[in-house]
């Protein structure tokens, strides 16, 4: 299970209107959405902080999904995210800066 269970979701009902679904550090799984969200819908997994196994499921199920990555990927001990960065196609990545909140240490 995701380390972010219990965090909030935004605009989940807007998929019926064709709007982007933006998940914010949520523990929701692909299975939770399959019954309600069309596969072609645009989804942004904001501040993705999970492993490649989970990421691969999301990418396979939703072709218009983008993975939002923060400067957390610059931390040497966060190796599970390093694999995500190496494996996700560039056109499926959103780099999230949200300055001044997400900045690498010692910057």
Q: What is the pLDDT of residues 15-60, one digit of tens each?
A: 455 555 666 555 666 767 777 778 888 888 888 888 999 999 999 9
Tell me if residue 85 falls in helix, strand or coil.
Answer: helix
Lowest mean pLDDT: which of 8-12, 26-30, 44-48, 77-81? 8-12
Lowest mean pLDDT: which of 6-10, 32-36, 101-105? 6-10
- The model's pTM: 0.70
Domain range summary for the chain, segments of one domain joined by +:
9-95
Q: Would you list the DSSP string of 49-82?
A: -S-HHHHHHHHHH-TTEEEEE-GGGG-TT-HHHH
């Amino acid at each position: 299970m995701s380390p972010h269970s219990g965090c909030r979701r935004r605009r989940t009902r807007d998929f019926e209107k064709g709007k982007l679904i933006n998940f914010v550090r949520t523990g929701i799984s692909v299975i939770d959405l399959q019954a309600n969200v069309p596969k072609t819908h645009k989804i942004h997994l904001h501040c993705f902080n999970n492993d490649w196994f989970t990421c691969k499921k999301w990418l396979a199920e939703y072709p218009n999904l983008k993975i939002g990555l923060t400067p957390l990927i610059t931390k040497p001990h966060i190796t599970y995210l390093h694999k995500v960065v190496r494996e996700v196609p560039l056109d499926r990545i959103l780099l999230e800066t949200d300055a001044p909140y997400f900045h690498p240490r010692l910057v």
